[in-house]
Amino acid sequence: MGLLSRKAACNSHGQDSSYFLGWEEYEKNPYDEKKNPSGIIQMGLAENQLSFDLLESWLARNPEPAAFKREGESIFRELALFQDYHGLPAFKKSMVDFMSEIRGNKVTFNPNNLVLTAGSTPANETLMFCLANPGEAFLLPAPYYPGFDRDLKWRTGVEIVPIQCSSSNNFQITESALEEAYKSAQKQNLKVKGVLLINPSNPLGTTATREELNLLVNFVDDKNIHIISDEIYSGTVFDSPGFVSISEILKNRNHKDSNLSDRVHIVYSLSKDLGLPGFRIGAIYSENEDVVSAATKMSSFGLVSSQTQHLFSQMLSDKKFTSNYLKENRIRLMKRHDMLVSGLRNAAGINCLNSNAGLFCWVDMRHLLKAKTFEAEKDLWKRILFEAKLNVSPGASCHCTEPGWFRMCFANMSEETLNLSITRIKDFVDSFNTENNVNRRQQRRLLRSPRIGLTKWVMRLSSSVSHDCEPER
């Protein structure tokens, strides 16, 4: 280890989180319907595999982009040569148009303000580098995606201070929670540089309300700090209330006398909405010229390939396709979401937080805990992982303050595998309840046994004493 740098050798990557440990166990014993039917089913991966057929159908109808051709002529050499890290203009234009379409065309985006990155992970990290120094902090509503402890902090040295949200109001952000987080950072001598919002939320699967968004914008405006709105799940909203982007809130406000628009930044990606994490397509959108300039320079460390940009500039420019895709994908997500929610409730008596977006459910298993502690949650998580053979993400890994919540993903598997997952949960809960009932009966017997023995002994002793003390006849 002495040969490595301090950064490479330090333990701040977050790899010891139960979120990552569950992945490691899954990779040792992954479920396969034919090759390994008793393996662990991956319910910890927020991946959208429900609409690949729509993408494949488009590719079949439009073979030229994937073959690197334009009007029958090869453009392979053109795409193979060096491209400026600002990105292909045609792709940036199609990307911002797609972002507007997802938002109901209520807002528009300028392609010159878009910085391309190899996914949302480098987009968020790049913004950390641009907006904060090592040892400064961002506030982040909790529960939040476990990977942020790695993505935001590991290389940048930036700290995260949770905005603690509660199940009592369905984990919505409140003014008091914001102020408490801000004061907590101050007590730790951390300068707060901004708020990072995940909208729709991962792991909750809910969209931020207009009230929450206005509250956040008022807060950052008052504190003169930044807000990053990570909107990578914006196209997965399948039920009401609909999605409201921070850009729409900004558009409807009169901020001419402040520099608010310079302190609002959006992260987007095609990884979730189109189910394309392997293509590594992400972006930062900002109206702050200095941020765009700095982020563009940094993007050279994680570019989107020219071939990828060319292909998806053609796909996203096909408005008939994008309109149909977004509509059909939402229908499929709702169906799959409802399968998991109803399956958990009807088969296992487990409820979920009411949600309307995302690729997962926030599942309430507090009633299965043997104690209201995170140690009990960890024990339950291990049993689900090794006995039910399901990799789910425990709430502690998401920095939830209430033990017993778990994130379960539903869009990264077939319908048959999801049904098997529900069956496994049902069998586990049945076995768990039977075990608890047996334990309770044994405890009651143990508690009764000493008392019964003592009573009989006292009665016998009393009878003996009484007999011995009888007067002689």
Could you tell me if 58 and 322 are in contact, meaning their C-beta atoms sit under 8 angstroms apart?
Answer: no
Instruction: Give catalytic status of residue 145 as yes or no.
Output: yes
Instruction: Give catalytic status of residue 182 as yes or no.
Output: no
Could you tell me if 237 and 254 are in contact, meaning their C-beta atoms sit under 8 angstroms apart?
Answer: no
Region 35-54 average pLDDT: 97
Region 397-406 average pLDDT: 97
Query: Taking the model in full, what pTM does it have?
Result: 0.90
User: Which residue in 160, 173, 227, 232 is the catalytic one?
Assistant: 232
Distance, in Å, from the CA atom of 178 to the CA atom of 66, rounded to the nearest integer, reads: 47
Element at 269 (helix H, strand E): strand 264-269
Instruction: Give catalytic status of residue 272 as yes or no.
Output: yes
Which has more pLDDT, 410 or 459? 410
Residue among 260, 265, 169 nearest 218 (CA): 260
Which residues on adjacent β-strands are paired with residue 322? none
Instruction: Give catalytic status of residue 430 as yes or no.
Output: no
User: Which residue in 26, 145, 233, 268 is the catalytic one?
Assistant: 145
User: Which residue in 230, 246, 266, 284 is the catalytic one?
Assistant: 230
Please write the tens of the pLDDT for every residue from 274-319: 999 999 999 999 999 999 999 999 998 989 999 999 999 999 999 9
Which has more pLDDT, 51 or 472? 51
E strand map for 62-198: 69-70, 73-74, 114-117, 137-142, 159-164, 192-198
What pLDDT score was predicted for residue 1? 56
Region 364-377 average pLDDT: 96
What pLDDT score was predicted for residue 472? 34
User: Which residue in 92, 193, 272, 389 is the catalytic one?
Assistant: 272
Could you tell me if 114 and 284 are in contact, meaning their C-beta atoms sit under 8 angstroms apart?
Answer: yes
